[in-house]
Amino acid sequence: MMKRALLGMTAAFGLWAGAALAAEQGTADEAKVLAEKAAAHVKAVGPKALADFDDPNGGFMVKDLFVVVYDSKGVIVSAGGNKALIGKDATKFRDTEGKAFGQEILDTATKNGSGWVDYSFLDPATKKVRPKSSYAVKAGEQVVFVGYYK
């Protein structure tokens, strides 16, 4: 059941991944810098930031990295241009090990201000579950994060 839920969610993420498949893989440093840039952008321009994150020319898609934004309850409000994920409750997301990574991303940012969350996720480029890490930052009432494959 958990694998099926992960695969379904991954399929939704995969809708936007066509361009990312050919892109070079981002690093931990690049993911952190992009997440911090996105958080600063949310604070500077407010709701307009969400459209910028979804725009392939908006400066927030680098290599295979993209910005995801949760509202204060963990509902996805931006997902790197993947409209199929908007409105999904990320606190229900589990990886193949059963880890509630969506909730942990939300908690890490809201309780600590920022931090890394490790989990397993299906890599759309390789079609294999791989270790992934996301850097999450609290930005007002929202949480922005960027993940990379290790």
The arithmetic mean of pLDDT across residues 80-102, rounded, is 94
The structural domain count of the chain equals 1
Beta carbons of 42 and 49 less than 8 angstroms apart: yes
* H-only helix segments in the chain: 2-14, 17-22, 28-45, 48-54, 101-112
pLDDT digits (tens, 9 = 90+) for 42-89: 999 999 999 999 999 999 999 999 999 999 999 999 999 888 999 999
pLDDT digits (tens, 9 = 90+) for 6-21: 544 544 444 344 444 4
Beta carbons of 117 and 29 less than 8 angstroms apart: no
CATH code at position 145: 3.30.450.20
Beta-bridge partners for 116: 135
Beta carbons of 118 and 131 less than 8 angstroms apart: yes
Which structural domain range is residue 144 located in?
2-149
Rounded Cα distance between 43 and 130, Å, is 32
The arithmetic mean of pLDDT across residues 103-130, rounded, is 95
